[in-house]
Amino acid sequence: MYTDIVLAIKPEFAKAICTKKKNHEYQKYKIEPTVTRFWLYETEPINAIQYVISIGSTKTPEQVQDSTGLENDDFDKGLKESYGYSIYRMWQLKEPLYGPLMKELIGISPPH
């Protein structure tokens, strides 16, 4: 039973979450219901985990109903083939965990 997963994300989306312009994360696959946190691995040029977010349960189109967040309206209209997760809270790590150190320190390789 996992409560945390590492998720690859473009740096611009991580920034949008930081500034609260993005209040839901969308994934093409359904996440296990036991997962409550995403560790955000920012892809090129960052290549590190800098943030962790806590998430809500799985949502499907028409369940978000919040037009204030980036991509929410497209998701609710069914224009994104994905599942949605409310972002409740975000934490920033004291120091980024860079891709090359991930295997050594936490036993996993960076996601693609």
How far, in Å, CA of 6 to CA of 13, rounded? 15
How far, in Å, CA of 103 to CA of 11, rounded? 21
Domain range list for the chain: 4-98
Encode burial over 85-97: b for 16+ CB neighbours within 10 A, e otherwise: bbbeeeeeeeeeb
pTM of the model: 0.93
Where would I find the H helices in the chain?
Answer: 11-18, 72-76, 99-106
Report pLDDT digits (tens) over 46-55: 999 999 999 9
Mean local confidence (pLDDT), 11-38: 97
Looking at every residue in the chain, the average pLDDT score rounds to 95
What class has domain 4-98? mainly beta
pLDDT at position 105: 87
Report pLDDT digits (tens) over 18-29: 999 999 999 999
